[in-house]
Structure 1
């Protein structure tokens, strides 16, 4: 007797794709906006990113269950748009690997008392080998990492929750402080924290239909939103807004955040749990993103699935971000922001264009159709355009930037 996959299982898969190292960038990115505006920005992003995932399902319904994002975009929007989409996918994957390699080196430098560049090289050499070996090896290590991440998160956050100070959480000491102007710069990092769209095709194939995949996506983004709320409240309730100045000066690097938390948390065990969670989140994201980029480049360059072919793919996947990390370690949040700015192409703009194209096709109004008509398509498209604009305005110093 064949039983249908549970919605809870699918929701957890989507949540695990969302909740990774991007989560570690949210406190530093939201320090200017602080609690209420940060939570509002994350909620708005979650709503739009959930709808844009549904738009992909709406477009995918015209194809068989094993179809890829690449094939659908090429078929419906043409080679030029597909090439732009593929470049954006590769850029985001590469910049995320770069951010994870840099941050892991800085954290391991503190833990192992070795040079951060040596630590980064060791990190890539050891953990990229799982990706080189096989998808099954990635699957097994991911299960271990997620279990470890959940345990360390629960233990660390439970300790932080007990020590939340409401005056710190709502910054009541600074009566004249401004928050809203800084919220715009947070959106690119928030968007990266809901970047599950490369898994939409897999969800559809997993359930064999669009309707249940739609509910699983909503369940997954809701779980992620709940975890982000808990994380933001715990960090902002323990670490005063003014204490983010040295973290921001170091580009929002995770080791700086962990170090700052360690100075305000009385329990050494809780501090170690947060440190362990941070490392597990980075490692889990590194392996997950690494596998995605690895498979993408193997398909792009037509490398064979043998030891020699996989070694070529490993080289083009991991060596460029490692070299960039060694040469230009310019900050975790900055890198995540770049990823969010470019990810708008394949998480908002392309899904809206695909859904619009889908509705002009013969069977466009059959099966799953995202409610809201043309208005919702325009809204998601513009959200992507605005977030990309916010990012590049912030990078050029044209948006208010919080310095502590």
Structure 2
């Protein structure tokens, strides 16, 4: 009897792709909206991103199991749309690498007393070698980092959750009465935290069919959502809303958030666990995203897999974001916001368009994402509005919380 892959395993793969350094930006992005509206924004994003993943899964029907996002988009929507889609995937990867390099440089600066640019250089040179070496090296390091993330997160959050204050969690000590408008600017950061769509084809190949893959996707996004809600409640229940002012002023950088949390957490062990979790999350995301961009550029420029070819791929993958980090250290939250705005193209716009095209072609057999034409329109509208909110935020046309 043939062994079927478990749904738990697939759900954990999707959750692992989602949960990473992006979640570190959620508290700062949600400081204006605070607890209830931040949780609503993250939950709404999870629902939309799950449905859009299902729409992408639906569009793979009739194709070989190993088909890629790139192939299906080019086949159904044409070369120009596919080129734009690929460009957006690369941009998001590059801007995330830039965010991780900037944040890690600041954390290393605090730890070792170096100038921040030296911290960024050391981090990039040291850890990008893992990606240059081999995918297998990334695999081994990722397993260790996931274990470290799990243990440090569990210890840190358990320590914080025991000290959650209801008056802080519900902001009863503040004078604010209008939280909802601030939630709009949080959506691009929330969207980045559910960016698993490049793994949809892998899930389909893993299970050999769409229905079980769709359940694994739902399980994975639900696990990620649970992590994010616990994280938000733990931070907002310990750190007063007014304390986010200095963090936001520094671009939402992770080191600033950790410093603010360290000032209100009495246990040094809990503060150290949060530091370890943050560093592991950034490093895990850095090598994971770095590997994706590395392989993408190696294919684009036709660099071979020799040491010299991999060195070229390494240079075009890591040197541009490192250079940008040294010249324009905008801040973690700003970079994550840009990534979320551009990621709307391949997470909320392309997948529903693909599903619409498949349905127009009359392919009604097999798996179908729920909701019909109305759901397609709603997912696209969510993507367009999320990108628009980021642009409006940039020009100060949305309410921005500054502490």
**Structure-2-length-normalised TM-score:** 0.99
Q: Distance in 2 between matches of 1:167 and 1:56?
A: 43
Match of 1:320 in 2: 320
Q: Is residue 2:66 matched to residue 1:91?
A: no
Contact kept? 2:51, 2:370, Cα under 8 Å: no
Contact kept? 2:169, 2:237, Cα under 8 Å: yes
Contact kept? 2:185, 2:393, Cα under 8 Å: yes
Match of 1:132 in 2: 132
Runs of 4+ residues over 3 Å off in structure 1: none
Q: Distance in 1 between matches of 2:396 and 2:356?
A: 35
Match of 1:298 in 2: 298
Q: Distance in 2 between matches of 1:308 and 1:202?
A: 29
Q: Distance in 1 between matches of 2:57 and 2:178?
A: 40
Match of 2:347 in 1: 347
Q: Distance in 2 between matches of 1:341 and 1:50?
A: 18
Query: Would the alpha carbon gap of residues 176 and 282 (structure 1) be closer, same or farther in structure 2, given more than 3 Å must change?
Result: closer
Contact kept? 2:104, 2:120, Cα under 8 Å: yes
Secondary structure of 1:183's counterpart equals helix
Aligned-pair CA distance for 1:175: 4.0
Runs of 5+ unmatched residues, structure 2: none
Q: Distance in 1 between matches of 2:205 and 2:134?
A: 21
Q: Distance in 2 between matches of 1:318 and 1:65?
A: 32
Match of 1:59 in 2: 59
Match of 1:16 in 2: 16
Q: RMSD over aligned Cα, in angstroms?
A: 0.8
Q: Distance in 1 between matches of 2:95 and 2:360?
A: 36
Match of 1:100 in 2: 100
Match of 2:215 in 1: 215
Match of 1:337 in 2: 337
Aligned-pair CA distance for 1:177: 3.3
Aligned-pair CA distance for 1:113: 1.5
- CA offset digits 1:316-369 (Å, max 9, x no partner): 10000000001111110000000000000000000010000111224x111111
Match of 2:226 in 1: 226
Q: How does 1:117-196 map to 2 (within 5 A)?
A: 117-196=117-196
Aligned-pair CA distance for 1:142: 0.3
Contact kept? 2:131, 2:290, Cα under 8 Å: yes
Q: Distance in 2 between matches of 1:70 and 1:130?
A: 26
Aligned-pair CA distance for 1:176: 4.0
Q: Distance in 2 between matches of 1:325 and 1:284?
A: 19
- CA offset digits 1:252-278 (Å, max 9, x no partner): 000000000000000000000000100
Match of 1:387 in 2: 386
Greater mean alpha carbon deviation, residues 108-117 or residues 266-275:
108-117
Match of 2:5 in 1: 5
- CA offset digits 1:223-242 (Å, max 9, x no partner): 00000000000000000000
Q: Distance in 1 between matches of 2:157 and 2:42?
A: 19
Runs of 5+ unmatched residues, structure 1: none
Q: Distance in 1 between matches of 2:296 and 2:3?
A: 31
Aligned-pair CA distance for 1:130: 1.0
Q: Distance in 1 between matches of 2:72 and 2:120?
A: 37
Secondary structure of 1:397's counterpart equals coil
- CA offset digits 1:67-102 (Å, max 9, x no partner): 111111001100110011011001000000000000
Q: Distance in 1 between matches of 2:174 and 2:152?
A: 33
